[in-house]
Amino acid sequence: MSKQDDKFKQLVSHCKEYGFIFQSSEIYDGLSAAYDYGPYGVELKNNIKSYWWKSMVLMHQNIVGLDAAIFMEPRTWKASGHVDAFNDPMIDNKDSKKRYRADVLVENYIDKIEGKINKEITKAKKRFGDAFNEEEFRSTNQRVLNNQEKMDTIAKRLANGMRDNNLADVKALIEELEIACPVSGSRNWTEVRQFNLMFSTQLGNISGEAGKLYLRPETAQGIFVNFLNVQKSTRQKIPFGIAQIGKAFRNEIVARQFIFRMREFEQMEMQFFVQPGEEMKWYKYWKDARMKWHQAIGTPADKLRFHDHDNLAHYANAAVDIQFDFPFGFKELEGIHSRTDFDLTQHQELSGRKLQYFDPEREESYVPYVVETSIGCDRMFLAVMSQALQEEVVPDAKGNDSTRTVLKIHPALAPVKCTVLPLVKNKEVLTTKAKEIFNQLKFSFNCQYDEKDAIGRRYRRQDAIGTPYCITVDFDTLEDNTVTIRDRDTLKQERISISEIENIVKEKIDMKQLFHETETVA
């Protein structure tokens, strides 16, 4: 098993052991691609949502929120193109009877070639040391050049096949690349077919097609159909945005990689309505703003990259992904799409209702263009956890080396902000004092009281869930009203007075610092 696989396995078991994420319906052996967020998971997820929501709605006078219903009038999905075109190409292996996404099989093949390139680069880096110039190496090393060309040719052919719905050529590509089923090892494939990803259900009082309802596969359409309601009720002027967080459902063909690809997941989407012709300016603005948002919480720049779409969706005139270096490689975390006036025009046509904005400066009405930012809350959760979870060698109480598992999560996102610990549990004077402090702090932020086990083990448990501060109450506390405050990252312990705790913790966990870093000028 590779180091990366190990790291991923460790992450999944950490999420379970420490109450972040459980498999859905686990006692019935689980439901695939559905997950439940445990006590610390729900706190972290709420903090991620709050960071996103505030960075959109609080930080922009011209972005307002919405919470639309999951069920929508079925024609919504006809207008948006989802009924006819929200498909993934699937292929079955006749021997293992396993089903795959045909495009993902090819993409995995491309990833393997990229892996070879990265290996060459790592080797060369070691050989040349400081003198190594990656750009030059990439443009001159023949093996790298050959592999890059191979990758580009395959990616282009796949993109063309997908764009033209030429599924026979996607199958031919899989055969030419001699891609085998990872389970049976055989290349005995069926034809490639399109598979619609929308879940449907039935209205109680209407039978047949007429009562067919879809579970929304994206939150965006709830925003489009409410565009004028929101604009008129809040008197917004273009450019303005509508932000929404909510569940989305997709009947993914292959749902693997933990919470990366789920059938029920949560999206954080913002649609920004602009004057036609100004969309590229805003597209660049949001690319920049969203990258800053990711970096502000401490994600290193080399763990994030932009990836332009090879194959533009039917509604877009420009599209880019922000990819994150997950334990299984760089994959899409967020999409930024210039959606033109496609959605509003389609809804206008099918509903017969005008969805136009009267521009008082231009003295004319028009259907605005839209730039969208769309991020999966669960994927963001996975990115945060995989970046934060670390093993470190640190000195123990006797000064010997010991390994600790620590979740180095940004304090603003940490599920628990501070834990109050009596030094020992069987001294009532200490537990009473510690509970008193806890009862003061609980009004200000998510705080815990813990008296179980030796103090060292309690610190380790807090490290494992990412608590930025531990407050220890000892016998000196009873004398002079001071406590020790232990910093999760530096392990430094300082003596401070009880009255200082609240402000120290508040300053550390304040999201304000993040918003200063993410401020972007149009």
Residues that bind ligand ATP (CB under 6 A): 218, 250, 252, 261-262, 265, 267, 332-335, 374-376, 378-379
Residue nearer to ligand ATP on the CB measure, 110 or 180 = 110
CB of 209 to ligand ATP, least distance (A): 26
CB of 33 to ligand ATP, least distance (A): 8
Contact 300, 239 (CB under 8 A): no
| Distance between CA atoms of residues 221 and 370, nearest Å | 12
Residue nearer to ligand ATP on the CB measure, 252 or 487 = 252
Task: Output the CA angle 455-457-463, nearest 5 degrees.
Answer: 105
Contact 369, 338 (CB under 8 A): yes
In Å, what is the CA distance from 341 to each residue of 227, 279, 317, 333?
12, 10, 10, 25
Among 178, 220, 234, 231, residue whose Cα is nearest residue 70? 220
CB of 331 to ligand ATP, least distance (A): 7
CB of 105 to ligand ATP, least distance (A): 14
Residue nearer to ligand ATP on the CB measure, 252 or 502 = 252
CB of 246 to ligand ATP, least distance (A): 12
Tokens of 265: 């997941």
CB of 69 to ligand ATP, least distance (A): 19
86: three-class secondary structure by DSSP = coil
CB of 329 to ligand ATP, least distance (A): 13
CB of 421 to ligand ATP, least distance (A): 37
CB of 312 to ligand ATP, least distance (A): 12
Contact 149, 105 (CB under 8 A): no
Residue nearer to ligand ATP on the CB measure, 337 or 461 = 337
145 phi and psi angles, rounded to 5 deg? -60, -45
Residue nearer to ligand ATP on the CB measure, 313 or 504 = 313
| Distance between CA atoms of residues 515 and 373, nearest Å | 18
Which helix (H) or strand (E) segment is 115 a member of? helix 102-128
Residue 123 is which amino acid?
Answer: K
Which residues contact residue 365 at a Cβ distance below 8 angstroms, ignoring those fewer than 6 apart? 354, 356, 357, 358, 359
Residue nearer to ligand ATP on the CB measure, 48 or 465 = 48
Residue 80 is which amino acid?
Answer: S
Residue nearer to ligand ATP on the CB measure, 82 or 433 = 82
| Ramachandran category for residue 95: left, alpha or beta (phi over 0 → left; psi -120 to 50 → alpha) | alpha
- The sign of the CA dihedral 206, 211, 215, 221 is negative
The helices-and-strands tally (H runs, E runs) of the chain is 18, 23
Residue 83: how many other CB atoms lie within 10 Å: 15
Q: Which residues pair with 77 in a beta bridge?
A: none
Residue 269 is which amino acid?
Answer: E
CB of 423 to ligand ATP, least distance (A): 44
Residue nearer to ligand ATP on the CB measure, 80 or 477 = 80
Residue nearer to ligand ATP on the CB measure, 303 or 404 = 303
Beta strands (DSSP E) in 99-220 are 99-101, 193-196, 200-202, 212-214
CB of 261 to ligand ATP, least distance (A): 4
- The sign of the CA dihedral 407, 412, 414, 418 is positive
Residue nearer to ligand ATP on the CB measure, 83 or 496 = 83
Residue nearer to ligand ATP on the CB measure, 257 or 351 = 257
| Distance between CA atoms of residues 386 and 391, nearest Å | 12
Residue nearer to ligand ATP on the CB measure, 220 or 416 = 220
Among 166, 115, 173, 172, residue whose Cα is nearest residue 311? 166
CB of 259 to ligand ATP, least distance (A): 7
| Distance between CA atoms of residues 363 and 320, nearest Å | 33
Nearest position to ligand ATP, beta carbon: 376
Residue nearer to ligand ATP on the CB measure, 218 or 343 = 218
CB of 321 to ligand ATP, least distance (A): 7
| Distance between CA atoms of residues 212 and 193, nearest Å | 23
| Distance between CA atoms of residues 330 and 471, nearest Å | 39
